[in-house]
Amino acid sequence: MSEPIPPLIPWPDGDERAAVGFDGRTLLRITRMAFVYRWRMAVAIGATVLAGVAQILIPLLIGASVDRIHAVLQAGLTDTRRGESDLVVIAAGLFLVAAFRGTVTMLQSYQGEVVGHKMANELRLAYYARLQSLSFTYHDTAHTGELMTRGILDIEGTRMWVHTGILRLFLLVVLLGGGALILARIDGPLTWVALAFVPFVAIGASLTRLKLRSLWYQLQRELGILTRIMEENLGALRLVRAYAAEAFELARFDHVSARARAITHRRIAFFVGSTTGMTLAFFLSMGLVLWIGGERVIEGRLTVGELATFLTFMAILQQPVRQISWMVNSIARASTCGARLFEILDMEPAIADAPSAVDIPDPGDGILRFENVSFGYETEGRKVPLLKNVSLEVGPGEVLGIVGPPGSGKSTLAHLISRFYDPDAGRVTLCGVDLRDLKLAALRRAVASVQQDAYLFTAPLDSNIAYAEPWFDDDALRSAAQTAQLHDHIRTLPRGYRTLVGERGVSLSGGQRQRLAIARAVLPESRVRVLDDAMAAVDAGTEQAILKALAQTAAQPATVIIAHRLSTLRGADQIVFLLDGEVAEHGTHDELLALDGRYAALYRLQTMATA
Amino acid sequence: MNEVVSETTSPDATAYRRARRRPLALVGSQDQVEEELFGAVFDGVVLRRFWAFVRPYRRALWIGIAGVLVFTATQIAMPLLIRYAIDRAIAAGADGLALLQTLAIGFMAVVLVNFLSNLAQELAVGRVAGHLLFDLRRAMYAHLQRVSLGFMDKTEVGRLMSRLQGDVNSLQEFLETSIFAVGDLVLLVGICGVLLWLDPRLGGLTLVVVPLLLVVRVLWLPRARRAFLKARETSSAVNGALEENVHGIRAIQAMAREPLNFELFTSKANDNLRAHMRASRFGNAMVPVVEALTGFAMLVVVMVGGGMVLDGDLELGVMVAFLFYVQRFFDPIRSLTVHYSMMQRAMASGQRIFEVLDVPVTVYDSATAKELRPVTPAIAFERVTFGYDASQPVLHDVSFTVAPGQTVALVGPTGSGKTSITALLHRFYDPQTGCVRIDGDDVRDLTLKSLGSHVGMVLQEPLLFSGTIAENIRYRQTGITDEEVMEAARAVGAHDFIMKLPEGYATRLVQRGANLSQGQRQLLSFARALAADTRILVLDEATANVDSETERQIQEALKRLLDGRTAIVIAHRLATIRGADRILVLRQGRLIEQGAHDELVREDGLYARLYRLNHGSFDDLEAADDEARGGHSPQPPDAASGTVIST
């Protein structure tokens, strides 16, 4: 019956937002955040209560007008003038109450929204700052899409709590409680009939809303998969064509699309079924009130005006009762969204300034030292050692080359220099000070590191290059681009240095990106320079030109170059061969050749292939 | 949006400010949100084409419209029944009991019809709109599979995605709202009609508020819309900045831009807050006006209508019915204006969708297209001239042949036409003059499907999909057995690393295979090509450098892959170039030299000069050529530089 599942269907990202939960502590915390805006909240709540009262007054006034007229008519047509003047008072009252209701509704709604937006703004800023400060250990494991949904959808879900949660609660209590009391004083039994639909609609609507919520997340999950399929396909269209895989690709698309379509239709059926069902319940109640109430009027136990009051009150109550479901939804939403947000906001960054952190000694000796450094990553609760007892030293103006097979710990070593991680044992020092005792910002500004995979910001070339040094001057910028052998290419672009690059801009080749990253690292004056396989996509000729230019820059930082190509390390003062996180060989190029170990073997492998 | 160039003030930022200039800094993209075009409400062309998609569901659509009309009628009928209950039954006292019963049952019946018609219309419209959403997306997606690659090269995936998602959604909304708009319009007209019918004088007087409401609403709408739009724009600017903070966090921390970025973000976030507060003011400003006008209408009904009742000119129930209707005036007006903006937006979306559907398909099977024979064929380019833009050829009069089983290496600088040659062989494009033959047949006479299954291709960028490793190796050929998958992986030397992964061949690759190294991805794309087992192979060698061990594996895999196939390789590495049977040297779209490595070296042309320069990548051809002509002496062949070429 079920068709076979085609291959290559992406799996969904985990998403716990679908959870239906009630988290009192989280709700309390959000509520407290809202009440920081004490006056606005006071105004909003006051206005909400007044709006509810005004809402109840309208059916009473309508009933009064009908009764007044009815009474005059019953009394015979002699006394119409007095009836008319009463009517003027009631009519004016209706107008004033309606206008008043409009004004307070505006007030409560506006103040509620403002509090929500202000709170969201605070959360957004705190979230942004927290993400900035969380260290690599966190970002390594975090899912970027997930961080985005927290920053967008969860903040939104939390914000809505003020308006759809707190304020609505007040309105419902006033309306339902006050209304029921007043109606009951008019006619107890009829009140039961009139409000019979309330529990039905409230419970039905809430269950529906929660069900719809879970269907919505199911749908989002399928749509997420569909998006992934489309994105991958459109990004790889050349490959799709090359393999004549159009039919195959469409089958993948159709499979997921059909699943999403089925959920969409289920949602529609569910939603429509429940909303129309609730309307039915409401109108049936109204029909009963008309019937029974009409009989009671005929029996003289109720006036026509009171019947009109009942009917109008019901009409007014229809909307808010349905909104109970929104409130229930809001509770679930704010509970999960808030909890997810606070989880991040409450996180302490693993790497932060020590209270006694100092600036880098100036001038200082400028020496970068690794002293018996060991380090490992945490994977599934287990430490996997990556660096073992590494000791190194590079002075200003010196170049240290690092080679080694993949996984030998080269990049990890580079990361420790910028203090993206802290060593488990031993220490890394700059100018003789442990990096953990330096101010983090000062250290990161002193270390210019170029990673393998250069991130491009969606911004013009000049702000991209000047990312670390936004107060650059044009000459410095140009000379940095020249050093990175990028200037000539930039000149050929129509907008030159103002050309937009990055995700939505002009695309750069891998080599150009790497050169940009190098220019970025050259621009600020740094004490340490780290090139982590930074020229892998740059051709060898250009690489030599860059190395030459780097050696000629005015600043003479301590330089660490990690490379696969041994030619990159031609100018290195010393070379380290890393193997399984340990320094296997250490010396100058000639010394290492003479040693005839792994370095020499690698050298032979690379040169032999040429012959 | 303007660039955010902010004067920063925090002590942290000031600390490292060197000059008293403003920083050239921004967070997030400074790009506009894809601008919201508000088209005309009715665009005949868009509507006509849209209809083609609605047509299959037109039955449901008619049901929906009929449902809307019946539903609206029942809504109008209910206050009328209340009116009769008051005036005819209740007023008659005990004699009216029977009539009251009839009217109440009538009311229930109307309620039931109301329920059924509501159910029918909502279900019908919802389903049609849902189908439409998926159908339109499917049509666009299927079309994109066939359009010219030239178009795809020029178009960002993100922009297409926004059409596949946002624009399709707004057309779905359009269908829903336009039908409900019909209901609202009928409701408004119906209420007005009933009021005038019940009592022309009181009706006329009460209805004065309707044009007033309309005028206020229409005056308010454009301003409010600007405010809402601004709020949306600032929201997406803030989210863009947040996204950058998430994706670029490593670069941001490495360059210690946190304090400055936080300030820039704060100013964006505050702009956003202000825009939202302004939008909120606009959103709520209408409430008291509407309520006051509704109150005014009630005032008229009670004062004037009440007076009329007292004078015996009007029945009491009519007045009550008036009060019910009056409170419902504004709902349809409000939804109509909302629908109006939605329809405008939908028209703009429709234009964008049909723009995509109109991108021409330039390459398709001819009527007499045939299948390729399953042999290892020869390839011939005969005087091929081709340009993506016909006026700017990137290949000029290129002719060459590749014998069955031979490997030919293409060498030349970026932009010399290497990629175009491979694209033409696979018939991604058709040449302007000349022809490309496989096994003697013009590729234009072969089916695209058979080209796809006989011409394998390995792209420079090893594109992988979210799925398991085995699925990626199989790709389209779902019939390949597990053993064959493993055999292909073993042949290219990928088996070992695959087995070391936590779930072996069942290991799921994350997006674009980011959990594998560059070299591993390369090997997988080789395995995929090998598993496809095509007789012709087109290979664009990766330029990125990988570690030497992987490099050795790749070279061996390459040998395995090329063995026994007719192959064209865009080569960057000397090892690959020297392994080829023949080398074609391209420059500015012309074939300038061809022959075996030794021949070319002997000929002492450009290739020979390059080879002697020992410059590593042959992509530097142009630069190297200049250098050679400029008489610079080649770099000293010192120990390390000799290695450059191989890695």
Partner A, chain B 300-339, Cβ-Cβ below 8 Å: 300, 302-303, 306-307, 309-312, 316, 319-320, 323-324, 327
For A596, which DSSP code? T
Between chains, do A121 and B252 touch, taking CB under 8 Å as contact? Answer: no
Specify the residue for token string 């290129």.
B398
Q: B122: nearest CA in chain A?
A: A272
Best B228, B323, B551, B632 member to test A by mutation, with max A CBs in 10 Å, is B323
Phi and psi at B440, nearest 5°, equal: 85, -15
B473 interfacial to chain A (CB closer than 8 Å): no
B515 interfacial to chain A (CB closer than 8 Å): no
Distance from CA of B266 to the nearest CA of A (A): 7
Between chains, do B306 and A69 touch, taking CB under 8 Å as contact? Answer: yes
Between chains, do B296 and A7 touch, taking CB under 8 Å as contact? Answer: no
Between chains, do A565 and B269 touch, taking CB under 8 Å as contact? Answer: no
B55 interfacial to chain A (CB closer than 8 Å): no
B478 interfacial to chain A (CB closer than 8 Å): yes
Written as one letter, the residue type at A250 is L
pLDDT for position B547: 65
CA dist., res. A181 & res. A176, Å (int): 8
CA dist., res. A387 & res. A426, Å (int): 11
Q: A109: nearest CA in chain B?
A: B284
Distance from CA of A399 to the nearest CA of B (A): 16
Report which of A260, A233, A257 is spatially closest to residue B467, judged by C-alpha positions: A233
Spatial CB neighbours of B58, under 8 Å, sequence gap ≥ 6: none
HEC secondary structure over A66-79: HHHHHHHHHCCHHH
Q: B160: nearest CA in chain A?
A: A234
Tally of residues, chain B: 647
Query: Hey, what are A69's tokens?
Result: 């007229």
Distance from CA of B340 to the nearest CA of A (A): 23
Residues A205-250 have pLDDT tens digits of 888 878 888 888 888 888 888 888 888 888 888 888 888 888 889 9
Query: Hey, what are B486's tokens?
Result: 């493993």
Residues A581-608 have pLDDT tens digits of 899 999 999 999 999 998 988 887 776 5
CB pairs under 8 A between A and B: 495
Best B3, B310, B509 member to test A by mutation, with max A CBs in 10 Å, is B310
Between chains, do A468 and B257 touch, taking CB under 8 Å as contact? Answer: yes
**How far, CA to CA in Å, does A347 sit from each of A23, A70, A351?**
19, 69, 12
A94 has pLDDT over 90: yes
Between chains, do B306 and A84 touch, taking CB under 8 Å as contact? Answer: yes
CA dist., res. B609 & res. B282, Å (int): 73
Distance from CA of A232 to the nearest CA of B (A): 7
pLDDT for position B627: 44
CA dist., res. A500 & res. A574, Å (int): 40
Tell me which residue in A70, A148, A253 faces B242 most closely, judged by beta carbons: A148
Q: B112: nearest CA in chain A?
A: A280
B228 interfacial to chain A (CB closer than 8 Å): no
Distance from CA of A468 to the nearest CA of B (A): 5
DSSP assignment of B589-631: TEEEEEE-HHHHHHHTSHHHHHHHHT-S-GGGHHHHHHHHHTT
Q: A282: nearest CA in chain B?
A: B111
Between chains, do A151 and B242 touch, taking CB under 8 Å as contact? Answer: yes
Residues from chain A contacting residue B267 (CB–CB below 8 Å): none
Distance from CA of A367 to the nearest CA of B (A): 20
pLDDT for position A62: 93
Written as one letter, the residue type at B566 is T
Residues from chain B contacting residue A304 (CB–CB below 8 Å): 86, 90, 316
Residues A433-483 have pLDDT tens digits of 999 999 999 999 999 999 877 888 888 898 889 888 888 788 889 999 999
**How far, CA to CA in Å, does A41 sit from each of A85, A125, A506, B269, B620?**
41, 21, 48, 22, 68
Distance from CA of B546 to the nearest CA of A (A): 7
Query: Hey, what are A442's tokens?
Result: 């000062």
pLDDT averaged over chain A? 87
Best A37, A57, A65 member to test B by mutation, with max B CBs in 10 Å, is A65
Residues from chain B contacting residue A362 (CB–CB below 8 Å): none
Residues from chain B contacting residue A8 (CB–CB below 8 Å): 465-467, 471-472, 475
Stretches where chain B sits below pLDDT 50 are 1-20, 31-38, 615-617, 620-647
Residues from chain B contacting residue A64 (CB–CB below 8 Å): none
- HSE-CB of B362 using CA atoms within 13 angstroms: 13
**How far, CA to CA in Å, does A102 sit from each of A96, A165, B217, B225, B443?**
10, 21, 16, 21, 74
Query: Hey, what are A213's tokens?
Result: 């919520």
CA dist., res. B620 & res. A416, Å (int): 36
Tell me which residue in A92, A151, A230 faces B161 most closely, judged by beta carbons: A230
pLDDT for position A296: 92
Written as one letter, the residue type at B17 is R
Best B255, B329, B635 member to test A by mutation, with max A CBs in 10 Å, is B255
Model confidence pTM above 0.95: no
Between chains, do B134 and A261 touch, taking CB under 8 Å as contact? Answer: yes
Between chains, do B319 and A502 touch, taking CB under 8 Å as contact? Answer: no
Distance from CA of A449 to the nearest CA of B (A): 7
Query: Hey, what are B513's tokens?
Result: 């295979």
Distance from CA of B382 to the nearest CA of A (A): 22
Between chains, do A610 and B645 touch, taking CB under 8 Å as contact? Answer: yes
What angle, rounded to 10 degrees, do the helices at B97-144 and B330-357 form? 20
Are B3 and B215 in contact, with CB atoms under 8 Å apart?
no
